Each structure stands twice: as C-alpha cells, then as structure tokens.
Structure 1
Amino acid sequence: MLDPKLMDEPARMAALERYEVLDTPGEASFDRITDLVRSILDVPISAVSLVDADRQWFKSIAGLDARQTARDIAFCAHTISQRGPMVVTDAREDARFRDNPLVTGDPNIRSYAGIPLETPDGYNIGSLCAIDTVPRQFNPGQIAILQSLAALVVEQLELRRIAERDHLTGALTRRAFLGEMNRAIALFERHQRPASLLLFDIDHFKRINDSHGHPVGDQVIHGIARLCTGLRRPSDSLGRLGGEEFGILLPETCREDAARAAQRFCEAIAATEISGAPPLRATASFGVAELRADWPTSESWLAVADMALYEAKRSGRNRIAVARHDASHAA
C-alpha cells in the first residue's frame, strides 16, 4: 500500500525546514550519537544525514572529513523513501550502488545500514547510518540499536527546536538566531547571496522598569516583539539577543533596502501604543549592517551592527544608523 507521505517531497522539505538545522555548526549531542554508532556497531563511519533538495548535509559525521554530498549519489536518499531500515551488505553487488562514486572511489563504501529519521508528523528528513568499507551483515540486534539511536536523533532535533524560542516573545533565542546568521554566512560564501542584519534595543528601558515595574517592562518587550513579528517578511528572522535587545535577519537584502526596512520598524514602534496597565509608548534605536567578507563570522557581523546601534543611541535614540563598508570590528 502506497504511503503518501513518502512521496510528498514539498511537505517533506517543509518538515525539514521547520527544524532550521541545515548549515548549523556541529553539536555535541549529535556527535555523541555518531560516536556511539561507530563504537557499538564497530564501523569506521557514521553520520546523521539530512536530505536537502539537491544534497545530503551532515549534522554530524564521524570517521569522514565531509560536510555534504550531492543527493543523487547519497545512500541516505534511498533510505528516506521507505519506513524501515535500509541495509546494503555489499554495495559492489547492488545494482543501485555498484557504479556510485562513493563506492568506486573514496570513501569506498561496501556496506551500509540506515534508519530513516521520521518526524512526529511522519516525514523522513534524513537518516542515521552506519557505513563500513568491507562487506558485512548487520544483525537484528545491531539494527535495533541503530533504530533506538535514530529515535534519539529525532528527539534531539525536537528538543533543539523547542529550545530555540524565547518563552516571553516567541522570537528565536540568541543561540538560534546566531544559527540563522551562520546559515546566511554560508549562503553568502557559497553563492554570494546578500543578507543584512538589523540590531535594535528599546530606548530607556531601565527607566520603564524602574517607573512601572518589571511586569510592565515584559509587556513592552512582548508588544514590540509581536509588532516586529507582524511587520517582518516570512523569510526574515526575529531573535531576542538578551534583555531588551533584538536582531532581525533580512536575507536577500542589500544595505540600502535594509536601511529602509529599519526605518519602517523604527517608525512603527514609535507610533504604537502598547496595551497594558497603563498603556505605554516606547521607541527603539537600530544599527544596520550588510554582510560582507570583512566580517565572516556571526560574532564579527554582530559587532559591526552593534557599533552602528551605538552610533544611533549616541546620536539621540529613536533612529537608525548604518554601518559603513569600511567599519572595523572587535571580534
């Protein structure tokens, strides 16, 4: 009987994108799982492989120096087309893989066991796999262990997704927002795709807390975050970076368009009455920085935007400042 979710590629890709994990740095929780697979199954290579539109990308890979491969040569691209384990005992004897460059050349794959990474809503977004360079059988006990560890990978992805949202505002946490910035940097380095960062904080926020109390301060933070969420494009990311400081990541956006967007956000915040007891108005100051090769890390890019934000505050607040192309940074 056909399984429609195994054939719905747009929905599968949407399920993968919800995790916002592609092109993020390595994480110990996933590396521990691939290390366990190598140790328990006695294989030289193990990977947490996520199957993107045209590539497989490794969230974790142990025993091989690679970050991704083309999807059309990926064993894991076959694994996601089924519900159960996929086992290849000798790739040179398997018509699907005997001419595969990963078999005929490095890393000389001969045997493979992969478990689909099935999301709670039933989509296979990748696999946890064990790879050997010699033909071999994987016994039922080993497959059962691999299945348990694959379930743990999905659990870690779910926990990671939940932990990436700030409880007060619903915005991305600082960690998650830096992950989005790292993805934008990877796209810039690989395909020269532009991106810009808006960094802002609420003006005189300490005065609001001191005058009205922290619950009212929380109402202001929540109200401004909700306003910015409504104003941003679907492709933009809003993050709470700490206290009253926020970031908005604008993909496919150059410096001039980012400055115009920052001005719209700035004016909208100043014009909005935030409901509460009592209702309040607040303003925010913005720093704008387009991504450039001169600041190729999230920390250096943030530092440049922070310099522009400082200039906006020094110049009187409730305004924007744009980082110069020749700006230096401290990171």
Structure 2
Amino acid sequence: MPQATDRRSGSDFERVRALERSGLLDQPEDAALQRLVRLTATVMDTPIALISLIDQDRQWCLARHGLNQKQTPRAVSFCTHTIQQDTPLVVPDARQDPRFSNNPLVTSSPHIRFYAGCPLRGKRQHKLGTLCVIDRHTRTISQAQLQLLEDLSDIVNRDLIARHALLTHQNGLVAKSDLFSFVLTRELERAATTQTPLSLIALACDQHEDVCGVLGITNSLRWLLSICSICTDNSNDSDFIGLMDQRMIAVLLPDTNIQSALARAVAMRMALRHSSAAIDLPHGTASFSAMALEVQNRQIQASELLQLCEQKLKGLQANLGDQTASDCIH
C-alpha cells in the first residue's frame, strides 16, 4: 500500500510534536465535539463522521459518530493522506483508487467506499488531523456540500484552538502543569528511542512569598507569566515552557546536552536580572535561581523527574540562592 508520508521527515516530526503540545491527544469524550460530528454526519448525509488526530503511528478519534473504533494504525489511515494537502481530499470510490483499493478498511470492516476530509490546523498552522465523513456506498459530493464540510471544519478548528488555550497561559506560550507533564512523557520516550540528549531547566524566584505579599495573588500570576515570556525570548522553537505550581517554571530542552542547558539557564537568569521582573522588595531586589538538568535515566517517569527538579531547585535556593547550577539525573 502506498505510504502518504515519510514519518521520519523533519516536517512531520515537528507536526507530531505540535500535536502533542496541543493537549488534544487521549482526552476523554466531549459532549460538544460529539454534537459537532453528529451535526456533520447529518448535514453531509453520511453514516460516519470523525474528528481525527494523526499521531506518529496512529489515527486517534477525538470525537466520532457511527464508528466504534477509537483509533486505527496510521499506515491504513485515509486522513494521513488528507493532511498532506491544503485542500479537502475526496474519494468517491475507494475500491477504484490505487491508494486505498487494498486497504483493510476498504476490503473489510468498516468497508469504506466514500471518504471526504478537510485538514484541521493547530495554532501554528501545523495540520494536526481532519474533520471527515465516510460512507459504505460510493457517491459523489457537490461543490456546495464540500463548502459546508469546509465551513464545519473551520468551526472545529476554532474549538480546538480554544481548548488548547484552556491548557495554557499567555495565549498558548506557557503550558499548565498537566499538559507539560504529558509533553515531558512523550519527549522522554522519544529521547529513549532516538538516544538523543534531553535536558530541563527549573527556575524560580528566591523571594516568591515576598513578591506575592507585595503584588497580591492576581498580579503575582501576571508577574510569573512575564517571567515565562522572558524565558520564551531566550528559548529555541523546540523548547517547551510550563508553569508547574504557581512557583516553579520548567523549560523542556529536547536534543540539548548539559553544557548547552547550563548556558541557556545562565542566559535566562541574566535576562531576568536586567528586566522588570526583578522588582524591588523591602529588603532588596528579587533574585532568581536556575537548575539545569540533563536526563540520562531514560526509565524515569515524568512525575518523578519533576519532583527531583523541584527538590534540586529548592536545595539551590536554600544555599543562598541567586545562582545557576547543573546536574545529571542518572
């Protein structure tokens, strides 16, 4: 069966990483999305409608109507082909299409004949999946119907971007703790598979309680997010920043060894020291500590790793603070 894409390619690698960081994978069924796929099936007069996400090796259904399977291998996915183009993919009769004629989804259950799908894009325009409709009978689709499917996919797109915003702060730049933990788990798996380095930076203000006392709770969160913004300005595109507990900021650094991670941690601390984040307190100016860690233990769990980061950062702060240090987790 022809393959739609080389999943080792750089563009697909970045697309899958963007999907992981969207927070959409492996979410429980949602009533609003279920209504959208039911509406799509009704409008398009098809027995099956899906909101599918194309992961590295699987197609996973965020919402589905008329189909029992929650996921299928990516190798047999029609939607994999859809995300390779900018326009909708329409297959009137899969038995007559050489890309799909021997596909087990065509030759056996659910016996797909007709397929039409539109790409769904993430916040940075990566194609994360599709809104698609499926029929067990051959059929054609009018231009008006295709426009309706595109209109519905635009509604789904807006919903998915809004869901991403609920899992992040600051317009999607900073992940909340649950999303950060999920992404960290995926990057740990990737580093173990590819035998590439992976590092973290744990960073916090040494006078957090004093700052909260001066600014108050609401302004303290804005202040923390301004710190995250400065860290973002000193990060690479592949880095991922999370606010873990309204106190510790974690920066995930894929493909980064301890020397580079330490240099980045120093740069972040220096940038913070000379920014408006270093606010004046009754007993001096707010300072920051940063711990750079390279993860050499490829079996460690994300939750355990984050706990170790927090412990090492607190130890650094207890030793006067206002400094940068590094370590390896074996």
Question: Pairwise mapping of residues 292-331 of structure 1 onto structure 2 (< 5 A)?
Answer: 292-296=297-301, 298-320=302-324, 322=326, 324-326=328-330
Q: Distance in 1 between matches of 2:133 and 2:192?
A: 31
Aligned to 1:7: none
Aligned length: 310
Deviations 1:103-149 (A, max 9, x none): 457x66432433303559998653223456x5465999998997676
- Partner secondary structure for residue 172 of structure 1: strand
Question: Pairwise mapping of residues 29-178 of structure 1 onto structure 2 (< 5 A)?
Answer: 33=33, 37=37, 47-50=50-53, 57-58=59-60, 60=62, 63-64=68-69, 66=71, 68-70=73-75, 74-80=77-83, 81=85, 83-84=87-88, 86-88=90-92, 90-100=93-103, 102-104=105-107, 109-119=111-121, 126-131=129-134, 135=137, 150-167=153-170, 171-178=174-181
Deviations 1:20-70 (A, max 9, x none): 657863123568746975896799976433458x87743537633646514
Aligned to 1:290: 294
Deviation for aligned residue 1:202: 0.9
Deviations 1:177-235 (A, max 9, x none): 33432441342244333322222221111123335656774675355333322222232
Q: Distance in 1 between matches of 2:240 and 2:299?
A: 23
Deviation for aligned residue 1:166: 1.7
What RMSD over aligned residues (CA atoms) do the two structures have, in Å? 4.7
- Partner secondary structure for residue 169 of structure 2: coil
Q: Distance in 1 between matches of 2:287 and 2:208?
A: 9
- TM-score, normalising length: structure 2: 0.68
1:242 and 2:245 aligned: yes
1:187 and 2:194 aligned: no
| Structure 1 residues 48 and 236, CA gap change in structure 2 (3 angstroms) | same
Letter in 1 for 2:95: R
Deviation for aligned residue 1:158: 1.6
Q: Distance in 2 between matches of 1:43 and 1:236?
A: 42
Q: Distance in 2 between matches of 1:215 and 1:103?
A: 55
Q: Distance in 1 between matches of 2:128 and 2:81?
A: 12
Q: Distance in 1 between matches of 2:70 and 2:288?
A: 45
Q: Distance in 2 between matches of 1:32 and 1:11?
A: 31
1:259 and 2:262 aligned: yes
Identity, % of aligned positions: 21
Long gaps (5+) in structure 2: 1-9
Long gaps (5+) in structure 1: 1-9, 327-331
- Partner secondary structure for residue 312 of structure 2: helix
- TM-score, normalising length: structure 1: 0.68
Moved more, 256-265 or 29-38: 29-38
Q: 1:281 aligns with which of 261, 272, 285?
A: 285
Moved more, 113-122 or 315-324: 113-122
